[in-house]
Chains A and B, each alone.
Chain A
Amino acid sequence: MTINAIPPAFIFIAGGLLLPFLKVRRAKQIFQLLIPTIAFIDLLYMGQGTYWTYHFLGYELILGRVDKLSLCFGYVFVIIAFIGMIYALHVKEDGQHVAAFLYIGSTMGVVFAGDFFTLYAFWEIMAVASVFLIWYRKDRKALDAGFRYIMVHIFGGCCLLAGIIIHVADTGSIYFNLIDLTGPGSKLILLGFIINAAVPPFHAWLSDAYPEGTITGSVFLTAFTTKSAVYVLLRGFPGTEVLIWLGAIMAVYGVVFAVIENDIRRLLSYHIISQVGYMVAGVGIGTTLAMNGAAAHAFCHILYKALLFMSAGAVIYVTGRRKMTDLQGRNLYRQMPVTLILYLIGAFSISAVPLFSGFVSKTMVTAAAADTHRALVFLMLHLASIGTFFCLTLKLTNGTWFGKDTEGSGEEKIKGAREAPLNMLIAMGLAAFACVFIGVYPQVLYHILPYPVDYQPYTTHHVINAMQLLLFAAAAFWIYIDKLGGKRKITLDTDWFYRIPGRLFLSFCNKPLNKFRSDVQGLFSKDRAFVVSLSKNPFTIPSVLAESMKLKMTSAGNLERREEISVRLNKLKSVAYNEDRYRISIGWSVMGCIGFISVFAFIFFYL
């Protein structure tokens, strides 16, 4: 190796920080695409091994642990960074691009971190950078959702940090590798990881915040946070029994909530939770096939989910509408046919239709569940698969591009709707190409997986079974098609537990607690005012106190005397402090000093 590679995290972070200094728009756009390209070449130059180790407070920081597992995630993150940047080329705000680059860079840092301190530092940058991709949407809902998002992530980060500190204190090493799930340290680390992986009940941040992000920013959001969490789980906790169940529950949970969702990007967000469920279950099963499956599924998922979010984003971008109730029955397929086709490729991929990418990766996880004889997990994952096909290929397609106008608005088409700008279409085209390419030629993906692959997705049995499963789900959909339109409702999720009680807590502080404070304050306000008036002129304090005592001791009936005292009292109080009145002349001070020095000198010299 003649050229030394540099940490890919720094390429993105430095690129992001330099971007605002470019003044010509075209140059900026070229630069945006150049950064992921350089990072990709950098990855190709990085052989496996350990790079960039630094000594810090007696520990060894490792910025580059390069093996097949980290490279697999590194590749897909760089690819999606490139595609996402094409999709975002038309955005003029530098801030959004800077946030995206910092976000991508910190995720690359997490992937290649070999120790806990580096991991934690990049983990936190990831949370802070990503929240700006939500806030840049700039409406009230986005601001609120962003605050909830960042608070959950800060909580997760605190769990992780606490876990790391306990773990390092116990083991004395900060090296990040397989972690034994014993003791509070490892459990807190696991909790930190699964909060980022959006495992229920800690998943609501995702379905809450991702639909509120900017159109281009949400594409990045879908790719990095949850998948980097899958990566760290693969690294730290393979074969952890509890993850199998969490993953299987997650897969079904996401689908159930997606079925009743009306907002198109929120529906897609619930499917992130569902799909990450397969990966988490794969990590939990922990066999070679399952781990490969989790990594492969993360790889494919990033591509097709970005494609789905890009096409949903394109619809929102040109129509300004985000709900199926506002889109169905408007025949959008006539105005956006290319977007529809690209969307369908994404939908087929996530539904694991043969020849599309999901089929070659999702089946690895289900096959691993079957191999280890986990019947219930196998059935749950299959059920989630049906639900995914139902929601994305059938319901969302119908509700966005076709469908019946259930509310009878009489609107036949959406005015001004047309295909999305060229850069968006190119980005979606690239992602769609990758989905089909991996589906048709899975060896290219299997080649970069962490372990050697001995799995054949395209057996007659697999293909026939998958087609039966999907087409009969479609048949069920067809029967009930008229009852399945969107509803103008929102669905409560576990974010309720911090949104409503949080608000109650706030109003408890504002009303009863605040009233108590003002009561207590009122109780002593007279005395406070008296002390304040006293302190205005210290020299009159004794006489004011004396007169006040006199006033108190005089009986209430003796009006004349009371009147006399209070006149005197008011007069005393009104005397302002005069700093010159009690000042002695400078001559006395000098004389005092000389006297002191004389006495001091006498004592010092003669005694």
Chain B
Amino acid sequence: MVKILKIIFFISIGFLVLIGLFIHDAHAHFWWERIPDFDAIFGFLGCILIVFGSKALGHYWLQRNEDYYDD
């Protein structure tokens, strides 16, 4: 089951990247929208950035033990 899902997943991201190369937004507002597959790159890097950014923020600054607010 997991294997099938994995295969479907990889096929679909390959497919999306391919289509992305041929689709151009006629109403692009920003320069990056003309980069092919920009959203794929942004999605991948953005996810890593947000996860590690927040983990670091939590680890070095904001996270405390669960009884922090107890008397």
Stretch of A55-63, A160-168, A371-379, A556-564 lying at the B interface: A371-379
Q: Check if A475 sits within 8 Å of B44, measured CB to CB.
A: yes
A387 within 8 A of B: yes
Stretch of A191-199, A488-496, A531-539 lying at the B interface: A488-496
Contact of B63 among A260, A461, A471 (CB under 8 A): A260
With A259-B51, A260-B58, A492-B62 known to touch, is A471 a contact of B16 (CB < 8 Å)?
yes
Q: Check if B42 sits within 8 Å of A378, measured CB to CB.
A: no
Q: Mark A457-477, 1 if CB is under 8 A from B, else 0.
A: 000110011111111111111
List the B side residues contacting A488 at CB < 8 Å. Answer: 65-66
Q: Check if A468 sits within 8 Å of B20, measured CB to CB.
A: yes
Q: Check if A490 sits within 8 Å of B68, measured CB to CB.
A: yes
Q: Among B13, B39, B48, B69, which residue has the most Cβ atoms of chain A within 10 A?
A: B39
Q: Check if B51 sits within 8 Å of A468, measured CB to CB.
A: no
Q: Mark B27-71, 1 if CB is under 8 A from A, else 0.
A: 001100000010111111111111101110110001111101100
Q: Check if A491 sits within 8 Å of B23, measured CB to CB.
A: no
Q: Check if B64 sits within 8 Å of A468, measured CB to CB.
A: no
With A256-B50, A260-B63, A472-B44 known to touch, is A375 a contact of B30 (CB < 8 Å)?
yes
A499 to B58, CA, bound (A): 19
Q: From A260, which residue of chain B is reached at the shortest CB distance?
A: B58
With A468-B37, A489-B65 known to touch, is A260 a contact of B55 (CB < 8 Å)?
yes
User: Closest Cβ of chain B: how far from A438's Cβ, in Å?
Assistant: 23
A465 to B44, CA, bound (A): 13
User: Closest Cβ of chain B: how far from A500's Cβ, in Å?
Assistant: 8
Contact of A499 among B47, B62, B69 (CB under 8 A): B69
Q: From A459, which residue of chain B is reached at the shortest CB distance?
A: B25
Q: From B69, which residue of chain A is reached at the shortest CB distance?
A: A499
Q: Check if B12 sits within 8 Å of A386, measured CB to CB.
A: no
List the A side residues contacting B30 at CB < 8 Å. Answer: 370, 373, 375, 378
Q: Check if A474 sits within 8 Å of B46, measured CB to CB.
A: no
Q: From A487, which residue of chain B is reached at the shortest CB distance?
A: B63
User: Closest Cβ of chain B: how far from A365's Cβ, in Å?
Assistant: 14
With A370-B29, A461-B25, A470-B43 known to touch, is A390 a contact of B20 (CB < 8 Å)?
no
User: Closest Cβ of chain A: how far from B64's Cβ, in Å?
Assistant: 6
Q: Check if A471 sits within 8 Å of B13, measured CB to CB.
A: yes
Q: Check if A387 sits within 8 Å of B9, measured CB to CB.
A: no
List the A side residues contacting B39 at CB < 8 Å. Answer: 464-466, 468-469, 472
A468 to B48, CA, bound (A): 15
Number of interface residues of B (CB under 8 A): 37
A383 within 8 A of B: yes
A475 to B47, CA, bound (A): 9
By DSSP majority rule, is chain B's interface helix, strand, loop, or mixed? helix
Q: Check if B64 sits within 8 Å of A492, measured CB to CB.
A: yes
Q: From A394, which residue of chain B is reached at the shortest CB distance?
A: B47
A480 within 8 A of B: yes
With A386-B50, A477-B47 known to touch, is A464 a contact of B20 (CB < 8 Å)?
yes
Identify which of residues 241-297 in chain A touch chain B, using a CB-to-CB cut-off of 8 Å.
Answer: 255-257, 259-260
Q: Check if B42 sits within 8 Å of A382, measured CB to CB.
A: yes
List the B side residues contacting A375 at CB < 8 Å. Answer: 30
Contact of A467 among B16, B48, B64 (CB under 8 A): B16
User: Closest Cβ of chain A: how far from B17's Cβ, in Å?
Assistant: 7
List the B side residues contacting A386 at CB < 8 Å. Answer: 42-43, 46-47, 50
With A259-B54, A390-B50 known to touch, is A474 a contact of B69 (CB < 8 Å)?
no
A38 within 8 A of B: no
A18 within 8 A of B: no
List the B side residues contacting A468 at CB < 8 Å. Answer: 16-17, 20, 37, 39-40, 43
With A470-B43, A473-B43, A476-B48 known to touch, is A491 a contact of B12 (CB < 8 Å)?
no
List the B side residues contacting A378 at CB < 8 Å. Answer: 29-30
List the A side residues contacting B49 at CB < 8 Å. Answer: 383
Q: Check if A469 sits within 8 Å of B42, measured CB to CB.
A: yes
User: Closest Cβ of chain B: how far from A337's Cβ, in Å?
Assistant: 13
Q: Among B16, B17, B54, which residue has the most Cβ atoms of chain A within 10 A?
A: B54
A484 within 8 A of B: yes
List the A side residues contacting B40 at CB < 8 Å. Answer: 468-469, 471-472
A487 to B17, CA, bound (A): 35
User: Closest Cβ of chain B: how far from A516's Cβ, in Å?
Assistant: 24
List the B side residues contacting A257 at CB < 8 Å. Answer: 54
User: Closest Cβ of chain A: how far from B71's Cβ, in Å?
Assistant: 8
Q: Check if B13 sits within 8 Å of A475, measured CB to CB.
A: yes
Q: Check if B50 sits within 8 Å of A387, measured CB to CB.
A: yes
Q: Check if B41 sits within 8 Å of A489, measured CB to CB.
A: no
Q: Check if A491 sits within 8 Å of B44, measured CB to CB.
A: no
A492 to B63, CA, bound (A): 6
A488 to B68, CA, bound (A): 12
List the B side residues contacting A373 at CB < 8 Å. Answer: 29-30
Q: From B45, which residue of chain A is reached at the shortest CB distance?
A: A476
Contact of A471 among B23, B43, B65 (CB under 8 A): B43
CB<8 Å pairs between A and B, sample of 8: A256-B54, A260-B57, A373-B29, A464-B20, A470-B43, A472-B40, A472-B41, A473-B44
**Additional A-B contacts beyond A464-B39, A488-B65 (17; CB < 8 A):** A259-B50, A371-B29, A373-B30, A382-B42, A390-B47, A461-B25, A464-B20, A468-B37, A468-B40, A469-B40, A471-B16, A472-B13, A472-B47, A476-B43, A484-B51, A492-B64, A493-B62
Closest 6 CB pairs of A and B: A472-B43, A260-B58, A476-B47, A469-B43, A473-B47, A259-B54
